[in-house]
């Protein structure tokens, strides 16, 4: 009994030995995009509470994706899709030179880079080796 508990606490929860390179790179890119998103939100003047909520929310989904949760990968896909739609709408607003420009040029540059990094990350996370890794049943080590 104590031996199995000891193994659970001593074993690494995210054993990266069997994780494909595409998944590792995709997760790293998601974290980079997440940092860019936080910078963009900060430059745009987001409040402290929404900033913390978004930080915790996205951190949870990236972490769950890193653990091999297929549902989290799908949620990330949906979030990136909505982010892309919002970005497109902001580009249209910027090109129309509306009176109430929401984003500055610096924020739009960060936003564009963030979207590009997210798309590359998702391409990696939905690649053939990544799909195989996500589809493998994750089993607990029981002594």
Cβ 30 vs Cβ 116: under 8 Å: no
Q: Evaluate if residue 2 carries a pLDDT over 90.
A: no
**pTM (predicted TM-score):** 0.76
Q: In the structure, what pLDDT confidence band is assigned to residue 5 with cuts at 50, 70 and 90?
A: very low
pLDDT at site 15: 53
**60 neighbors 71 (Cβ within 8 angstroms):** no
Q: Are 97 and 52 in contact (CB under 8 A)?
A: no
Q: How confident is the model at residue 108 (pLDDT cuts 50, 70, 90)?
A: confident
* All residues at 6 or more sequence positions from 140 whose CB lies less than 8 Å from its CB, including other chains: none
Predicted local confidence at residue 53, as pLDDT: 92
| Reported confidence tier of residue 111, pLDDT bands at 50, 70, 90 | confident
Q: Are 115 and 87 in contact (CB under 8 A)?
A: yes
CA-CA distances (angstroms) from residue 74 to 43, 93, 99, 100?
28, 29, 37, 34
Question: What is the rounded average pLDDT of the residues 37-57?
Answer: 88
Q: How far apart are CA 126 and CA 19, in angstroms?
A: 13
**125 close to 76: Cβ distance less than 8 angstroms:** yes
User: What per-residue confidence (pLDDT) applies to 103?
Assistant: 60
Task: Label residue 139 by pLDDT band (50, 70, 90).
Answer: low
pLDDT beyond 80 at 16: no
pLDDT for the residue 7: 42
């Amino acid at each position: 009994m104590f031996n199995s508990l000891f193994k659970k606490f001593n074993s690494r929860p995210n054993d990266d030995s069997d994780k494909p390179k595409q998944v590792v790179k995709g997760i790293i890119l998601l974290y980079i995009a997440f940092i860019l998103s936080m910078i963009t939100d900060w430059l745009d003047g987001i409040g402290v509470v929404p900033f913390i909520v978004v930080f915790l929310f996205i951190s949870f989904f990236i972490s769950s994706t890193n653990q091999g949760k297929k549902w989290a990968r799908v949620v990330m896909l949906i979030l990136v899709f909505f982010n892309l739609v919002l970005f497109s709408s902001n580009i249209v607003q910027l090109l129309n030179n509306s009176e109430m420009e929401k984003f500055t040029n610096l924020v739009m540059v960060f936003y564009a880079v963030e979207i590009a990094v997210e798309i590359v990350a998702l391409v990696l996370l939905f690649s053939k080796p990544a799909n195989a890794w996500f589809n493998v049943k994750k089993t607990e080590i029981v002594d």
